[in-house]
A and B are shown apart, each in its own frame.
Chain A
Amino acid sequence: MIEYEAVIGLEVHVELSTESKIFCACPTAFGGAPNTHVCAICSGMPGTLPALNREVLRYAIRAGLATNCEITRDGKFDRKNYFYPDLPKAYQISQLYLPVCRNGRIEIGEGKNKKTIGIHEMHIEEDAGKLVHDPEGNCTLVDYNRCGIPLIEIVSKPDFRSADEVTDYLERLKTTLQYIGVSDCKMQEGSMRADINLSVRPVGREELGTRTEMKNMASLKAISRAIEAETKRQISRISAGKPIKQQTRRWDDDKGVSFSMRSKEDAHDYKYFPEPDLLPLRVSDGMIEEIRREIPELREARRARYIKELGLPEYDADILTSSFPLVRIFERTAGICGNAKEASNWIMTDLLKLLKDEQVAPEDMHFPEDSLGKIIRMTSEGVINRSVGRRVLTELFGSDTDPITYVKDNGLAMVSDQSVIETAVDRAIRENEKAVADYLCGNPKSLQFLIGQAMRHLRGKGDPQSVQKILFEHLEKRR
């Protein structure tokens, strides 16, 4: 039997997280009522012209530098012409001939499975609008809010051989882009989407088979399933002696199958030509160096430093650096509480559990970066005890309330007043004669029980060390 392998290339579209759109001042914020983030320019009104946002070029160069690309010094914009209601000018300003970055690479895999995926090029372009089907009117409604949001399209070489390699690459790409702050890469909001080009060939053969394309894939799970299904589909067709048609297919993740999209015969003549409304870009060495300096320490370097300098376990360092929002909250927390290990422990046990319980990805987390650090500092300074700290974290997760204010307003600060603790201890001893007797007979478990009782009278806020000390003294007096 012939063994086949898949040959896969990716085109990843990433929305840049600039404040304003690429060619006009409209906000890029996600959501908003239809056509309210729209002006004469991004809706393609006659007579309007594009005015390039400075940050878009800088972000694209930053992304290129972080993925080992060569930066094009004299980039240009081109027009890609096609008719569709989501494209108000009937052309997309993009880069065909001189893209901003070329010839980059990303390493995937670990140990002996390490592999380099080539980046063919990275170009700047504008996003299109959104079409929404309106069942009530049996028509399509066009919303241009997304129109003109800056994108970079990252085109890989056809270096992937499996779905695992693809998802590994996407995870790493996402992490890198988040680290350098050019995109939030929220796949569920469409700010990172992938087109998959896939063909199969007998293992060992050089030449490529006919490829199909699956566009606009927006979840890693769906991508992985689509690749596996499409690989199988192509192999079974070839094995049955049927040809593969070059076509665009749409993946239906619910049904787990892909469909051929009706091919538009004339859709491929994009009539590219240089965009006359924008001047050629001139990128100087100075500009590249300046942008290079803005790139923060990337994942691998940071992970190594966490292990070596902060003494974190490898596992913890790995998790903490897996996503930039976690890095940010970890470093902020460690800075505030002054104890990296403690910060790491809280994140690894408490915070990640909360994220998991609430099914929130770290980049979607709504939690002020200072909050966790403040909570830990309150526990280490003895303002609250650890279990109250945990309670505060759970209660405040997802809110903007300041933990210090919260502890004060809800009277959660630890009780260390001797006389109050003594009263609680007295009451615990008085009400639990049996446990006292057990203790005096040499049963240490009873001591824990009595501490619990005293803490209960203190509503959990007693300083555990003082409670234990006073209880011990009182019990010893009874001997």
Chain B
Amino acid sequence: MIRMTDIHEAPPEPASIGAEQIEYLEQLARIRLSGEEKERTARDLSKILDYIEMLGELDTEGVDPLSHPVTTEPVFREDKAVNDDRRDAMLRNAPEHKDGCFKVPKTVE
């Protein structure tokens, strides 16, 4: 099986998303698509990725990636503790809770 993690070269091959890639993406996203959704998503993603590949032609040699275009001197928070205990309001949104905790099925190590 070809895993995405096995592909390292940039720029990638013209993308065509197949069933295996969709499965891997489903795993990463914790989403399971129905049969029809799978097909449609594979088709749509391939089309979108094909279009996105255009970025490959842009000459970015020596260009530093820019993550935060608008920066300012950050004002940090002072280290003061305030215990704003809103447990009840918070737990009211939880699908299930017990003894003041969020409840989930047993986690397996």
Which of A28, A141, A250 is within 8 Å of B102, CB to CB?
A141
Interface of B is mostly: loop
Contact count band on B: 35 or more
In the complex, the answer to whether B107 meets A279 with C-beta atoms within 8 Å is: no
The interface stretch among B8-16, B36-44, B48-56, B85-93 is B85-93
In the complex, the answer to whether B85 meets A36 with C-beta atoms within 8 Å is: yes
B62 contacts the other chain (CB 8 A): no
In the complex, the answer to whether B77 meets A25 with C-beta atoms within 8 Å is: yes
State A133–B109 Cα separation when bound (angstroms): 11
0 or 1 for each of B57-78: is its CB under 8 Å from A? (1 = yes)? 0000000000110011110111
State A83–B29 Cα separation when bound (angstroms): 9
In the complex, the answer to whether A52 meets B106 with C-beta atoms within 8 Å is: no
Contacts of B102 in A (CB 8 A): 35, 85, 141-142, 144
In the complex, the answer to whether B68 meets A52 with C-beta atoms within 8 Å is: no
In the complex, the answer to whether A35 meets B87 with C-beta atoms within 8 Å is: yes
Interface of A is mostly: loop
State A20–B5 Cα separation when bound (angstroms): 39
Which of A83, A140, A281 is within 8 Å of B106, CB to CB?
A140
Contacts of A28 in B (CB 8 A): 81
A400 contacts the other chain (CB 8 A): no
Residue of B nearest to A20 (CB): B81
Which of B72, B79, B103 is within 8 Å of A55, CB to CB?
B79
Contacts of A52 in B (CB 8 A): 74, 76-77
Contacts of A262 in B (CB 8 A): 108-109
A411 contacts the other chain (CB 8 A): no
In the complex, the answer to whether A53 meets B76 with C-beta atoms within 8 Å is: yes
Residue of A nearest to B74 (CB): A279
In the complex, the answer to whether A83 meets B103 with C-beta atoms within 8 Å is: no
In the complex, the answer to whether B107 meets A35 with C-beta atoms within 8 Å is: no
Which of A19, A39, A268, A280 is within 8 Å of B86, CB to CB?
A39
- Given known contacts A20-B82, A26-B83, A142 and B101 CB-to-CB distance under 8 angstroms: yes
In the complex, the answer to whether B74 meets A139 with C-beta atoms within 8 Å is: no
In the complex, the answer to whether A142 meets B104 with C-beta atoms within 8 Å is: yes
0 or 1 for each of A23-40: is its CB under 8 Å from B? (1 = yes)? 001111100011111111
State A55–B79 Cα separation when bound (angstroms): 6
Residue of B nearest to A25 (CB): B82
A309 contacts the other chain (CB 8 A): no
A18 contacts the other chain (CB 8 A): yes
State A39–B83 Cα separation when bound (angstroms): 8
In the complex, the answer to whether A38 meets B67 with C-beta atoms within 8 Å is: no
B34 contacts the other chain (CB 8 A): no
Residue of B nearest to A261 (CB): B109
A276 contacts the other chain (CB 8 A): yes
State A143–B106 Cα separation when bound (angstroms): 14
A358 contacts the other chain (CB 8 A): no
In the complex, the answer to whether A40 meets B86 with C-beta atoms within 8 Å is: yes
Residue of B nearest to A266 (CB): B27
In the complex, the answer to whether B107 meets A51 with C-beta atoms within 8 Å is: no
In the complex, the answer to whether A143 meets B76 with C-beta atoms within 8 Å is: no
A134 contacts the other chain (CB 8 A): yes
Contacts of A55 in B (CB 8 A): 79
- Given known contacts A38-B87, A85-B107, A139-B106, A279 and B71 CB-to-CB distance under 8 angstroms: yes
Contacts of A133 in B (CB 8 A): 106-107
Residues of A within 8 A of B (CB): 18-20, 25-29, 33-40, 43, 45, 51-57, 76, 83, 85, 131-134, 137-144, 250, 261-262, 265-266, 268-269, 271, 274, 276, 278-282
24 contacts between A and B (CB under 8 A): A19-B79, A20-B80, A26-B82, A27-B81, A28-B81, A37-B83, A38-B85, A39-B86, A40-B90, A45-B90, A53-B76, A53-B79, A54-B76, A54-B77, A131-B107, A133-B107, A134-B103, A137-B103, A139-B106, A144-B102, A250-B109, A265-B27, A268-B5, A279-B71
Top 3 nearest A-B pairs (CB, nearest first) are A141-B101, A54-B76, A27-B81
